[in-house]
Structure 1
Amino acid sequence: MSFPPDFRAQAMVLAAGRGERMRPLTDHTPKPLLPVQGKPLMQYSMEQLARAGVQRLVINTGWLGQQVADAWPAAPALAQLGSEQLQIAYSREDLDFGGGIETSGGISRALPALDDAFWLVSGDVFIPGFPFDEALRQRFAQSDDLAHLWLVPNAPHHPKGDFVLTAEGRAENPAADDPRPRLTYCSVALLKKDLFSAPYCDISAGNPQGTKMPLVQQLRAAMQAGRCSASRYDGPWVDVGTVERLQAIGG
């Protein structure tokens, strides 16, 4: 996989998953392309990013990846997203490795095309009011943190949550017997490329072997080092992981 020269994206949208729980809908359509109120699910976040000033975007592809790559033209062409435009580079995990390589594996693969600080958004979350803001990314870039997560109240399908949000705005990975309440990571984050190098990640630059690795390992390491901040988000948010949740938002 080669990316356009000097392409440095301010955001990455994840679109490589199989969507097992959404079958049979995802047998023929990748989950991020399932229609919601007349347009692909992932396009909502893409439009929001473009409105917030993102000019270049990386999308990784896995299951039925050609459909994703055919949905919007690749850079240097401009992709039209409603009234917004941006350039897209595709990281074709489906062509390079026969399928998705999990979140950290996919990010590591796309690192050559990413800015030092970038938005990460899952293509299967619906979060229409989220305040993507270039000023937030710039402030994060100047901080010592490697990750900033947005945490939401726990949904009925995930009642135990993921991480603790401290009064100081830090994210912590609590022990099993920690009584503090947890919140759920909503699959929106700001990350730095340094999170995907030693000592936090042992995947070679560009992940030429297609090593599979989930993101939680890097997040926990950043938390342990005191380099993961977080904010609470109370706006509308849906993890579109079932047909029922898709139908609830107009899919």
Structure 2
Amino acid sequence: MTQPAFLQVPALVLAAGRGERMRPLTDTTPKPLLQVQGRPLLQWHLQALADAGVSRVVVNTAWLGEQIPAYFSSQNGLKCLWDKREQLSISYSHEGVDFGGALETAGGIARALPQLGPVFWLAAGDVFAPDFVFDSAAVQAFAASDHLAHLWLVPNPAHNPRGDFGLSPQGMALNLPADHPAPRYTYSTMALLRAELFGPPWCDIAPGNPQGVKAPLAPLLRRAMDNGRVSAALYTGRWTDVGTPQRLTELNTTAPHLP
């Protein structure tokens, strides 16, 4: 059921990466436009965001970035989003045009921040998670907290067996050392974030990242975790980081197809 738009916040979908491990597929097509079960990877997130009542989405681009707005402004793109297209406003942060390449995750978020708001969804356009719901109830709970981020973690896939972060019984993300005996989980790339995380003392990138500083997200998250400002939940639905041609082939040939 579509949730009321006033309960939702904007979203940033990351789509700027080169996709080196996906070559040669990504030599001519940006990874978020590779097809999974008949739809571009990026479309699965856009459709889920529209279904959840999100009205504004920013997509960052770099490698072959011109193809993404061209696709979603075309007749094919309009059909992709069915009757949700009028509801969902898509804008772009063109890192490739502005700086000649991708700014990494934190750099890209900082660049797109003026188009977002104090709280926003984050997702990666190369992750397939057809069961994930961008739930407005999660937005309300996060907005009522003092947390800087809320992460969805997943059981560790074969390509990341040691995981990324711990999870406390109280639902807090933990920056555990590598030799800590507690289990660690993999960050799914889905999150709720506060714009505050991208300013002092957590981040020293100037507002709007006018210099095009490249910076990863993990150090900011770990700093905030060490100060008890990052919550988390375990997501057990279908999830694939489509990082290799083999994983893409598996999704298109062995996974149950969705309507």
The TM-score, its normalising length taken from structure 2, stands at: 0.90
The answer (yes or no) to whether the contact 1:119–1:188 under 8 Å persists in 2 is yes
RMSD: 1.7
- Map of 1:122-161 to 2, 5 A cutoff? 122-161=124-163
Instruction: Please identify which structure carries the higher strand content.
Output: 1
Q: Deviations over 1:211-234 (max 9, x none)?
A: 000000110111011000000011
Moved >4 Å (runs of 4+)? none
- The one-character-per-residue Cα deviations of 1:182-235 (angstroms, maximum 9, x if unpaired) are 010011000000000000000000000000000001101110110000000111
Q: Give the deviation of 1:248 after TM superposition.
A: 1.3
Q: Across the two proteins, how many residue pairs are aligned to each other?
A: 241
CA drift at 1:141: 1.5
Is 1:102 matched with 2:104?
yes
Amino acid paired to 1:223: M
Q: Which amino acid aligns with 2:191?
A: A
Distance apart, 1:80 and its partner CA: 6.2
Q: Does the residue aligned with 2:117 lie in a helix, a strand or coil?
A: strand
Which secondary structure state, in structure 2, belongs to the residue aligned with residue 191 of structure 1?
strand
Larger relative helix fraction = 2
Q: 1:121 and 1:53, CA in 2 relative to 1: closer, same or farther beyond 3 A?
A: same
**1:25 is the counterpart of 2:36:** no
Q: Note the 1:196-211 alignment, pairs <5 A.
A: 196-211=198-213
- CA distance in 2 between counterparts of 1:174 and 1:198 reads 23
User: Which runs of 5 or more structure 1 residues have no equivalent in the other structure?
Assistant: 1-7
Distance in 2 between residues matched to 1:222 and 1:71, nearest whole Å: 37
SS at match of 1:223: helix
Structure 1 distance, partners of 2:49, 2:117, is 15
Which residue number corresponds to residue 58 of structure 2?
58
Any conservation in 2 of the 1:15–1:123 contact (CA below 8 Å)? yes
State, as a whole percentage, how many aligned pairs show the same letter. Answer: 57
Q: Report Cα offsets for 1:145-167 as digits up to 9, x if no partner.
A: 00000011011111000000010
- 1:1-251 to 2 correspondences below 5 Å: 10-73=10-73, 81-85=81-85, 86-250=88-252
Q: Under a length normalisation based on structure 1, what TM-score does the superposition of the two structures give?
A: 0.92
Gaps of 5+ in 2: 1-7, 254-259
Query: Aligned partner of 2:69: which letter?
Result: A
**Structure 1 residue matching 2:139: 3-state secondary structure:** helix
